């Protein structure tokens, strides 16, 4: 068997696309790793200086912010990847400029409106949804981050469409945590106000959104200052809305567990659960790194109707994901108590919930890049429907398990959700395209 794997490895490394996957994802992986480090630094500062309760309040307010920002993106972030990857390959910078301008004209007023809604309904959300009135100032502060968060996502996906993978990874994983950590560290010299983590987070988003918008325009204007008029705004919206629903279902299902946990449990448990989620995402680092460079490639191969090339590309990706992720899985499972203990003794109590969460993440990694494949091959409506069904199952599971089991119940519901949408997507792709997205070495 060893000789068989050795021979297969030599064959893979002679392939240009395989080498591109390895080199591109490796660079993205290390940037994401840097993002993980600064993200943990930000979380560590909050947990050490303010405690798990403030960390829980910060987590809940950021979760609400993310839900508002998903609505404000209108699915345009995912749509831009598919649109820009085609136009960039064809040298159509005039069309890229048209789409980017129209996207900004659409999302900026929507973002400002959603920001105002969150600001003025903060008391209602804190009192009647979470039944925790003290969360109101946290929500008011975080409301100023709605538009910057939307712009951060939009600009990140522009980088991805241009296949600027390093810039994409930095914008998605490093920038806002890096700026937030620096700002929070500076604030702590003068004050220990409990709202400082939220203030630092919002300021970091403002810095990142302004700088990334400037860089996107500079990149486009370096190639053209002519704007085409080929893409009606209505058509852009109709193409992006199915992606909005798919993205919303995926993200909201991840957040709904935290929100329902926040309703039925303490801020301390929410804080511990937020650390569990951060640690568990280590196992998906390879998958996310690969998805960041492969999604545009999926779109290009599908547009050219190169089924054999797409099949080979997906097979190579599955192999890289499998062999790179297994060591990380084993490390987290074996040393989960030690990892949680780094944030404080009170966090060690989440060890069993972390184990359950890791089981869910295994399904995510095993299934491979199913979401990117469906979105980039024109099956975004199918993906939306799969996620809708899985989200309903997740919500039902949350209300069954969380009231009686708290943090463990949230972990169980999350595991069920991960397994459901990944397995259904994997089976659909096999049935529809005869493509195997997973790798099994035996």
Q: What is the DSSP string of 115-143?
A: HHHHHHTHHHIIIIISS-GGGHHHHHHHH
CA 203 to chain centre: 20
State how far the Cα of 298 lies from the Cα of 287, in Å rounded to an integer: 15
Residue 368 contacts by C-beta under 8 Å, 6 or more apart in sequence? 287, 314, 317, 318, 321, 426, 437, 438, 439
What is d(CA 8, CA 50) in angstroms, rounded to the nearest whole number? Answer: 52
- The DSSP symbol for 346 reads G
Of 256, 286, 231, 276, which Cα lies nearest the Cα of 63? 256
58 phi/psi in degrees, rounded to 5: -65, -45
Residue-wise burial string across 101-138, b where 16 or more C-beta atoms lie within 10 A, e elsewhere: ebbbebbeebbeebbeebeebbeebbeeebebeebbbb
Rounded Cα distance between 126 and 115, Å, is: 16
Q: Do residues 394 and 416 lie in contact, with contact meaning Cβ atoms separated by under 8 Å?
A: yes
d(CA 209, CA 232): 26
Instruction: Please tell me the distance from the alpha carbon of residue 34 to that of residue 26, in angstroms, as a whole number.
Output: 13
- CA nearest 357: which of 312, 412, 404, 308? 412
- C-beta of residue 354 within 8 angstroms of C-beta of residue 276: yes
Rounded alpha-carbon distances, angstroms, from residue 345 to 223, 266, 337, 348: 55, 17, 10, 6
pTM metric for this prediction: 0.66
- How do the pLDDT tens digits run along the chain, 442 residues long? 445 545 544 555 455 555 555 555 566 667 777 777 888 788 888 888 887 788 888 888 888 898 888 888 777 766 677 777 777 777 778 877 888 888 888 889 989 999 999 999 999 988 888 888 888 999 999 999 999 999 988 888 778 777 777 777 777 777 778 888 889 888 888 888 888 999 999 999 999 889 888 988 888 888 877 777 776 666 666 666 665 665 666 666 667 787 788 788 877 787 788 788 878 877 776 667 666 666 666 766 766 777 777 777 777 777 777 887 888 888 888 998 888 888 777 788 888 999 998 888 888 888 877 877 787 777 777 887 888 888 889 889 999 999 988 889 988 998 999 899 889 988 888 888 887 877 776 6
From residue 429, give the alpha-carbon distance in Å to each of 8, 70, 358, 372: 25, 26, 24, 11
């Amino acid at each position: 068997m060893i000789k068989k794997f050795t021979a297969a490895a030599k064959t893979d490394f002679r392939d240009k696309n395989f080498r591109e996957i390895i080199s591109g994802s490796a660079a993205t992986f290390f940037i994401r790793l840097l993002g993980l480090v600064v993200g943990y630094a930000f979380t560590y500062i909050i947990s050490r200086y303010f405690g798990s309760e403030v960390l829980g309040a910060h987590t809940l307010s950021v979760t609400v912010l993310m839900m508002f920002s998903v609505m404000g993106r209108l699915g345009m972030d995912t749509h831009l990847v598919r649109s820009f990857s085609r136009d960039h390959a064809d040298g159509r910078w005039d069309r890229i400029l048209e789409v980017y301008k129209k996207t900004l004209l659409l999302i900026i007023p929507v973002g400002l409106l959603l920001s105002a809604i969150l600001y003025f309904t903060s008391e209602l959300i804190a009192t009647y949804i979470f039944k925790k009135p003290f969360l109101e100032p946290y929500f008011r502060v975080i409301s100023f981050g709605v538009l910057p968060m939307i712009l951060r996502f939009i600009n990140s996906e522009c980088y991805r469409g241009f296949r600027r993978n390093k810039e994409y990874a930095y914008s998605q994983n490093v920038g806002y945590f890096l700026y937030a950590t620096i700002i929070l560290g500076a604030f702590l010299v003068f004050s220990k106000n409990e709202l400082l983590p939220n203030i630092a987070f919002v300021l970091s988003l403002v810095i990142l959104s302004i700088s990334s918008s400037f860089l996107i325009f500079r990149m486009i204007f370096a190639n053209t200052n002519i704007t085409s008029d080929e893409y009606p705004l209505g058509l852009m919206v109709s193409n992006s809305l199915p992606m909005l629903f798919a993205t919303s279902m995926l993200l909201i299902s991840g957040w709904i567990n935290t929100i329902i946990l926040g309703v039925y449990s303490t801020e301390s448990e929410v804080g511990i659960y937020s650390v569990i989620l951060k640690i568990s995402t280590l196992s998906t680092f390879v998958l996310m790194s690969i998805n960041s460079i492969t999604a545009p490639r999926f779109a290009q191969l599908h547009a050219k109707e190169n089924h054999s090339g797409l099949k080979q590309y997906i097979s190579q990706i599955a192999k890289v994901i499998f062999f790179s992720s297994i060591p990380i899985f084993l490390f987290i499972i074996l040393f989960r108590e030690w990892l949680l203990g780094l944030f404080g003794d009170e966090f060690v109590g989440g060890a069993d919930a972390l184990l359950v969460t890791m089981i869910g993440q295994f399904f995510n990694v095993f299934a491979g890049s199913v979401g990117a494949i469906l979105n980039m091959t024109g099956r975004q409506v199918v993906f939306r429907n799969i996620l809708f069904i899985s989200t309903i199952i997740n919500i039902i599971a949350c209300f069954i398990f969380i009231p009686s089991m708290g943090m463990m119940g949230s972990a169980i519901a999350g595991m069920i959700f991960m397994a459901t949408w990944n397995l259904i997507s994997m089976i659909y792709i096999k049935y529809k395209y005869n493509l195997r997205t997973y790798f099994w070495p035996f």
